[in-house]
Structure 1
């Protein structure tokens, strides 16, 4: 019975982590909307040339997204979740 309980807890932990990752990505897209708009404006109507012509916009967007989607941000979100739901750090 211990194995089944552990498997259930791991499943719940995975679901929580997936939800936190999704929340993290949504926040990043919201915070970086300006850069996403600039990239989309540059890319509009282009095909292969987007790689060369919009390189700076893509780099700015990726840098912004990385500020909000990295392991330290996820770890902080996990800590906050644990404090809110378990009362443990």
Structure 2
């Protein structure tokens, strides 16, 4: 269990997501994340996996039949996969995704 989950009392309908510490404005190093935001992040990650499918497939092909050797044998494919996923799942991309979601929901009302 992450230390910040122990240091703070449990919050109903929220989860704690570890962050980089005090530089994010929270001396405890955690921020509260609503279930709605967590759901949006999950959808964004699923979209990122769809966008990066060919690269993820190359990594999966390299990893097939390997156990511990996947760490060094598929390092290049792993880095390529992480770079692809990061461009779709970083904080800036999430802000754009969140803004788009809010615009869509406001148009429905």
Cα RMSD after superposing both structures: 2.2
Structure 2 residues without counterparts, runs of 5 or longer: 1-11, 15-32
- Report the structure, 1 or 2, having the larger helix content: 1
Larger CA Rg, structure 1 vs 2? 1
Of the three residues 23, 28, 39, the one matched with 2:48 is 28
TM-score by length of 2: 0.63
TM-score by length of 1: 0.76
- Report the structure, 1 or 2, having the larger strand content: 2
Structure 1 residues without counterparts, runs of 5 or longer: 1-6
Query: Which residue does the alignment assign to 1:74?
Result: 94
- Runs of 4+ residues over 4 Å off in structure 1: none
Of the three residues 48, 61, 65, the one matched with 1:41 is 61
Higher relative contact order, chain-length normalized (CA < 8 Å, sep 6+): 1
How many residue pairs are counted as aligned between the two chains?
Answer: 78
